[in-house]
Amino acid sequence: MKIGRDGVLSHWLRTPNTGSMITIHLRYEIDPDKLEEFTEYGRVWIRLVNRLGGTHHGYFLPSEGDSDEAFALFTFPSLAEYEVYRTASKTDDECIAAFQYARDTKCIRRYERRFLTPLFE
């Protein structure tokens, strides 16, 4: 297995859809002075991910400790369905507006995305 430029295991990207559920873990470095803007951004994306076929498990905002780190988790039934969501998000008017909101407010400094296989039992 090789890790691609974006840190994703390239094996996962080449594997045909086996129906395996995939959870996306996002780690954000945010501007602590723009927590209100980031909170709004998160509320919008929870609704959008759910509307576009995923299950959003929420955003986890700074409370104690690091004030510039936040997380999000959402799941899709398969990597193929996640890719459908990614493609749709590039042309969906509400998604485009959400991406632009983050750029305009500069509430996100950077983010990392990881792909995980959930284990529930």
18 in a domain, yes or no?
yes
Please report, for the domain that includes residue 75, its CATH number: 3.30.70.100
73 in a domain, yes or no?
yes
Q: For residue 22, is pLDDT > 60? A: yes
4 in a domain, yes or no?
no
Q: What's the DSSP call for residue 9?
A: B
The residues pairing with 74 across neighbouring beta strands, listed in sequence order, are 24, 56
48 in a domain, yes or no?
yes
Mean pLDDT across the stretch 4-27? 60
Question: 119 falls in which pLDDT band (50, 70, 90)?
Answer: confident
121 in a domain, yes or no?
no
Q: For residue 34, is pLDDT > 50? A: yes
Q: Provide the pLDDT for residue 49.
A: 98
3 in a domain, yes or no?
no
Question: 14 falls in which pLDDT band (50, 70, 90)?
Answer: very low
Domain count, the chain: 1
2 in a domain, yes or no?
no
Residue with the larger pLDDT of the pair 4 and 23: 23
* CA 23 vs CA 30, 31, 32, 50: distances in Å: 22, 25, 26, 13
What is the extent of the structural domain holding 42?
Answer: 10-116
Residue with the larger pLDDT of the pair 2 and 116: 116
Q: For residue 111, is pLDDT > 70? A: yes
Mean pLDDT across the stretch 110-115? 97
b (16+ CB within 10 A) / e for 31-48: eeebbebbebbbebbbeb
